[in-house]
Amino acid sequence: MKTRKTILSALVLVLLCIYIVQLIVAGRSPIREFDLKGGDEINQITLVSAAQGTVTLNKQDGRWTVGDQAYTTEEGTVGDIVDSILHVRTLGTASRSTGEETMQRFGLDNNSVITVTAYKDGKALRTLYVGKTAATGDQTYLRMDSKNDIYLASGSLRDTFDCSQDSLRSKEIYALSADDLTGLYVSGKKGSFTASKALGENGAVWSLEGAAADGTGTADAAGISGKIAAWASQVANLTAQSWADEATLMPADSEGRIELTAGSNRVSVVVAKIGSGDEAKYLCASSETPYLFYVSKTVAERLIKDAADFTK
């Protein structure tokens, strides 16, 4: 009888242990964090897809560039790419099959997948195979490295990695402080003028020289100064709408040229109109970049002002 009790007690303990293990397994979260060690050492990233081809990012002297020409990149966009490579958070496993039908279903086939590879000195540290966005819109299907598992990962990773070379290039042409501007010169089809800033009793005062500075118009000196000051703050910074193809040439005929003086800095931009009507595009060349770029009609008209605009 004593032996029987001992056996029953032992069985109870075994069953209790099994129950506890089942509870632990049942309560285990499917969420996993895949953090890449040594991520700070990444110095090259490739983004490969059927739609965008191969886009290559390189890091040198702490600065990321894109393409063989080492174009300056948008820091925020590249920062999101790097962070999404270093820190992958999965919410569960969608499939462990690598069959053709499964790959197509999750957007991981050759026509749809975005292959992201991070390197250190030519050695691959991590490869992500980014599939389609899940129905919720904030999760993405992906595979990692040589694993067959297809994970449901947190975040709209397809939006992060589906980048062209042009979208990764910085669009900033120049960034001056409006307070530092002392002179603005415009030469255009409607004439030329110079706006100069001087310090008066009540602070900085802008004045016009050249066209429309002959006293005509209804604006007084204070009104003219205020309008020029507002304009100066608008043209102190310039961002391209997009970059022109390398084969694009700047036409000889242009809408005009603006030159900005800020201390010892002199920045110039030439604006040319390509086409007409609603299809017109505005191609620009600047002293601050060797590459041609486009701006919107609004920006083009802001750069090449008519002096009469300040005297109305």
- For residues 305 and 236, give the distance between their C-alpha atoms in angstroms, rounded to a whole number: 14
pLDDT digits (tens, 9 = 90+) for 34-53: 999 877 789 999 999 999 99
Q: Is the pLDDT of residue 202 over 90?
A: no
Tokens of 8: 């029953």
Residue-wise pLDDT tens digits, 1-36: 556 656 555 554 554 444 334 433 444 568 899 999
pLDDT digits (tens, 9 = 90+) for 214-248: 555 556 888 999 999 999 999 999 999 999 998 99
Cβ(89)–Cβ(153) below 8 Å: yes
Q: Which long-range contacts (CB under 8 A, 24 or more apart) does 105-108 make?
A: 106/131, 106/132, 106/141, 106/150, 107/131, 107/132, 107/141, 107/158, 108/141, 108/142, 108/143, 108/150
For the chain, what percent of residues have pLDDT higher than 70?
A: 88
Q: Which residue has the tokens 């069959």?
A: 99
Q: What pLDDT does 219 receive?
A: 62
Mean per-residue pLDDT of the chain: 89
Per-residue H/E/C for 173-240: EEECCHHHEEEEEEEECCEEEEEEEEEECCEEEEEEEECCCCCCCCCCHHHHHHHHHHHHHHHCEEEC
Task: Express the helix, strand and coil content of the chain in percent, nearest 5 each.
Answer: 30, 40, 30
Please state, for a pLDDT cut of 90, what percent of the chain lies above it.
Answer: 76
Distance in angstroms (rounded) separating the CA atoms of residues 276 and 259: 25
Q: What is the DSSP letter of 169?
A: B
